[in-house]
Amino acid sequence: GESVGLHLPTLSVQEGDNSIINCAYSNSASDYFIWYKQESGKGPQFIIDIRSNMDKRQGQRVTVLLNKTVKHLSLQIAATQPGDSAVYFCAPLCGNNNDMRFGAGTRLTVKP
Amino acid sequence: KAGVTQTPRYLIKTRGQQVTLSCSPISGHRSVSWYQQTPGQGLQFLFEYFSETQRNKGNFPGRFSGRQFSNSRSEMNVSTLELGDSALYLCASSPGTTSGTYGETQYFGPGTRLLVL
């Protein structure tokens, strides 16, 4: 099955700094990737996605980079705010299979 | 549109009992997936239902089952509860397609927190 790992289980940044959250995946057939944010007491919330035919996608304050060669993706958050404090998950998907295999997640803490 | 709703939000049961959790997907969504989240194992996929049929299944014992109704609402059932079943159970919905190249974004509900004593 899919093996998904996150390089850093915790990340602490200063408010206003940029954050980078990494994710490695093992299935080279994965062709669609989603980043979710989960705040305490809530369900995961969609942040941004990227398809395998792209290597970069930008949203509002967030950018996802995909490196298929090394099976790695990252989520960059610009000007991190206290409201960004949460656990972040990446979810690789393969084809039209909706079976998402999440990694452990990275806990981002933003210090004021 | 209203988001994914789950009921109940909190539940306390004892070992050996059974429990049924309910999920109402976003209007128009036909695919419903269930996940178990625990501090030790993280988010784990249970199963996915589409058009009242189980389309995908994770690695959970047969005590975990589910079903989907014609209006796409879904229920999951856990029989003979064990202490280790204490977790946050999340439901996620997506439009659902039977063909297509890429997977779909799934939208999560707030979850049902189950405590087994």
pLDDT value at residue B36? 94
The answer to whether B34 touches B90, Cβ cutoff 8 Å, is yes
pLDDT value at residue A5? 47
Segment A65-92 shows an average pLDDT of: 94
Band (pLDDT 50/70/90 cuts) for residue A98 is low
Alpha carbon of residue B87 to chain centroid = 12
Segment A43-48 shows an average pLDDT of: 90
Answer yes or no: is pLDDT of A97 > 70.
no
Segment A79-95 shows an average pLDDT of: 90
Nearest to A90 by CA among A29, A54, A46: A46
pLDDT value at residue B1? 67
- Residue B43, chain A, CB below 8 Å: the answer is yes
Q: Do B101 and A95 touch (CB under 8 A)?
A: yes
Residue B68 CB partners (closer than 8 Å, separation 6+): B32, B49, B50, B51, B52, B53, B74
- Percent of all residues in chain A with a pLDDT value above 90, rounded to a whole number: 58
The span from the CA of A67 to the CA of A94, in Å, is: 16
- Residue B10, chain A, CB below 8 Å: the answer is no
pLDDT value at residue A70? 95
Q: Which of B32, B105, B112 to mutate to test the interface with A (most CBs of A within 10 A)?
A: B105
Q: Do B103 and A96 touch (CB under 8 A)?
A: yes
Band (pLDDT 50/70/90 cuts) for residue A28 is confident
Beta strands B10-13 and B31-38: pairing type?
unpaired
pLDDT value at residue A9? 80
pLDDT value at residue A68? 93
How confident is the prediction for chain A on average, in pLDDT? 87
Q: In whole angstroms, how far apart are CA B32 and each of A103, B29, B41, B57? A: 20, 8, 21, 12
The answer to whether B30 touches B96, Cβ cutoff 8 Å, is yes
pLDDT value at residue B98? 54
Q: In whole angstroms, how far apart are CA B114 and each of A4, A38, B84? A: 26, 18, 10
Neighbours of A58 (CB within 10 A): 12
pLDDT value at residue B101? 47
Which amino acid makes up residue A27? Answer: N
Structure tokens at A43: 């369900």
B85 three-class SS: helix
pLDDT value at residue A41? 85
Q: Residues of B13-24 as b/e, b for ≥16 C-beta within 10 angstroms?
A: beeeeebebebb
pLDDT value at residue A94? 77
- Residue A104, chain B, CB below 8 Å: the answer is yes
pLDDT along chain B (117 residues), means of 10: 92 97 96 89 87 89 96 97 96 76 78 97
* Residues 60-89 of chain B whose Cβ lies under 8 A from any Cβ of chain A: none
Nearest to A47 by CA among B39, B105, B89, B94: B105
pLDDT value at residue A1? 36
Answer with the residue of higher pLDDT: B44 or A100: B44
pLDDT value at residue B4? 96
Band (pLDDT 50/70/90 cuts) for residue A6 is very low
